Amino acid sequence: MINDIMGSCLRLAKYEQEYGDDYWKTYQEFLEDFKGDCEDITVFMYGTLKRLGYSKGIRLRIIRMPLGDHSVLMVELPNGRWKMYNSTPLPLDFSDIALSRTMVEWDDKNIYYP
């Protein structure tokens, strides 16, 4: 089900490279035109899961990949394992995942900035 939701989000989203200052759109701002860079799309994916009630008792993370300055959404599945969802059509080198860093993490009660 999560794969279907993430796929639907990506079909709606239009990736646009951001130049200059890095501004993260809110979920509501993204809904105005469904356009944004990787962080904007990641926030949209997270917001969609949250509004569907998926965030209850689990954690979601936006992580920064080391090469290419790219963000993805990490979702903790009910079995405790983590799954990565790429927020754009950009290719990822998953061999570098160990070098990534968490930018922000949410659970159903708190937000963390490690």
Burial of residue 79, with CB atoms counted within 10 A of its CB: 0-12 exposed, 13-18 middle, 19 or more buried: exposed
**Domain CATH code at residue 24:** 3.10.620.30
Query: How many domains are contained in the chain?
Result: 1
Six-digit token string for 42: 């990641």
Going from the C-alpha of 40 to that of each of 30, 51, 67, 78, the distances in angstroms are 7, 16, 19, 25
The pLDDT, as a whole number, for residue 98 is 57
Tens-digit pLDDT string for the chain (114 aa): 888 998 999 999 999 888 878 788 999 999 999 999 988 998 899 889 888 887 666 677 777 766 566 778 888 887 888 888 888 766 666 555 656 667 777 666 677 666
The pLDDT, as a whole number, for residue 36 is 93
Q: Residue 98 phi/psi, 5° resolution?
A: -65, -20
